[in-house]
Every structure is written in C-alpha cells, then in structure tokens.
Structure 1
Amino acid sequence: MEVTSAYVEYAFQLPEQYGDVACHNDYLALALAKQEGCPLLTGDQGLKQASLGEDVSVMGTVWLLRAMVENRLLSVDEALNALGLMKTRKRRLPWTEAERILRGLDHDE
C-alpha cells in the first residue's frame, strides 16, 4: 500500500509528540493504519502507546493467531506449535493467556 504525502508528513511529525519510542518506518506504518482506518499489528510497546494516542487500534500476535485459526488458515495445533516456537525464541507474550485462548478455539468448532 502507498502512504499518501499528507500521511507521510503526519508520520514525520509524530516523533515531536512521542519522541524516539518508534523508528521512522514504524511511524510510517502507524500513519498508513490511520490513513486506511485499519488496525495496526505490532508487539512494540512504544509504537502501541503512540498508536493508542492517535486513536489507531492495535492488535498483537495472539490476536493474529486467533484470527488465523478462526478463519481456518491454521489449525489450533498449528497455532500452538507456532506459539511454542515463539516461546523458545524468547518472544515476550502472555503465554498462559495465549494458550488458553487458542485451546478454547478447539471447542468452538
């Protein structure tokens, strides 16, 4: 997708308000989400705070895994395996809650 010139300018102004909580490309992603009126997918806490300050909804990894299972792009087992790989690679997620959510989807079918 293309960020319009108005939203590129908007992205360049965000560090004045939020500082260095995100890099330039992250601010461009936030600007694109705002431009398109869609959620921003991020796990970065600084970008999440800036997004919420700009009234852009933020979704994370657990939401993405859940959506993929609900839309039958992944099985619950595949999502749990992916979660396990993330855990071994030292990602920071609410592990117990994520597993509970994904296991709960198995009963929804």
Structure 2
Amino acid sequence: MTQQVYISDTNIWIDFRNADLLDALFDLPFQLCCTDFVLSELQDFDPQALRQRGLLVHGLDERATARLFGLMTAHNNSSLADVSCYLLAQETGHPLLTGDGRLRKQAVHDGLQVHGALWLLDQLVAYQVTSRHAAALGLKSMLDLGARLPPTECQARLRDWQT
C-alpha cells in the first residue's frame, strides 16, 4: 500500500525542530515531502540528514518555476518556497502542511486539503509516536519560539495533554 504524501512548507520544519520533535515526524505512517525551494530555506538544517530520514525533495522544472512568480503576485505571498509548496500540492493533489496563514487561506479557497502544526502534533499523539506530555512540551516550545498558532486551539490541547 502506498503511503499518503504530505507537502510541507518551511514553517513546519522550523516549528518541529524548535519543539525537538523533528525526528518524530518521520515515524508517522505517511511520507513527508517538500520542494527544493523549501530545502534551500532551511539553511541551518542538515539537508542530507532530512533526506536520510525519508524526506522526499521535489525539484520544480523551469516551466513550474516560471509559474511561481505569477502565483506570488496572485496570492499576495512573497515567499517562493511557500508558493512552490502550493503549486506542488495543486499539481499532485497531495495535502499541504503549512503554518502560513495566507497560504492556508488560499489553498482552502482553491479546494486543497490543508493541515498545520497542531494537526501534526495530534497525529504524533494519535499514532503514539510521542506522549501527550511530550506533545505539550513541544507545543510550548513552538509558542515560546514564536510560532503563530491559534491561541484557543493551543490552550485546549495544552489542557488536554497535560492531564
């Protein structure tokens, strides 16, 4: 059986590294993917280590890359990496993992399936990849280090996971 592929933007990788849960992502029963633009933004990550853990990196050809500039303007999004993930999700039909509000809004508007960091934390707990306590500590770390996540949903998870 083929694993579901999820296309992840830069924010997800940074948030989960900040939560000390980066390795745990690769223990989930699905395949993680990003574009070469995202990988190039992860300057303080070890790209070989991510690939060895199982990260699929999708390079975009010249035609697709040319489309990115139009998407940046159309979506009012200045990040080449963000729109590269959007384009790949649109072309493949794979769900998008993003922490960027504008990208999420556009993707939902265009009928793409979208999830974020909180959903990934939920998956780590549901698949028993990490404990509820570790997920709560990870979420606190994300928030302490500047992750912009919905406060009400974060507080609900923290209450639930800390009990």
Report if TM-score (shorter chain) is over 0.5: yes
Alpha-carbon shift at residue 65 of structure 1 (Å): 0.2
Q: In the TM superposition, what whole-angstrom CA distance separates every residue of 1:68-107 from its partner, at most 9, and x where no partner exists?
A: 1111111101000001112222322234423424654799
- Residue pair 2:135, 2:161 contacting (<8 A) in 1 also: no
1:55, CA displacement in angstroms?
Answer: 2.0
4+ residue stretches of structure 1 with deviation over 4 A? 102-107
Paired position in structure 1 for 2:23: none
Letter in 2 for 1:53: H
Aligned pair count reads 106
2:75 to 14, 18, 28: 18
In structure 1, what residue type is equivalent to 2:71? L
> Which ranges of structure 2 fall in alignment gaps of 5 or more residues?
1-56
Over the aligned positions, Cα root-mean-square deviation in angstroms equals: 2.6
The Cα of 1:30 is off from its aligned counterpart by: 0.8
Identity of aligned residues (%): 28
Specify the structure having the higher radius of gyration (Cα): 1
How does 1:32-71 map onto structure 2 within 5 Å? 32-71=88-127
Deviations 1:27-58 (A, max 9, x none): 11111112221221111112122222332222
Q: CA contact under 8 A between 1:8 and 1:31: conserved in structure 2?
A: no
> Contact 1:69–1:76 (CA<8 Å) still a contact in 2?
yes
Structure 1 length-normalised TM: 0.75
Which stretches in structure 1 are left out of the alignment for 5+ residues?
A: none
Between structures 1 and 2, the one with greater helix share: 1
CA change 1:76–1:31 in 2 (3 A) is same
Contact 2:136 2:161 in 1 (8 A): no
Q: Which has the higher contact order (CA 8 A, sep 6+)?
A: 2
Q: TM-score, normalised by structure 2?
A: 0.53
Over 3 Å counting, the alpha-carbon distance change for 1:102 and 1:2 in structure 2 is same
> For residue 50 of structure 2, what is the aligned residue in structure 1?
none
The residue identity in structure 1 corresponding to 2:148 is R
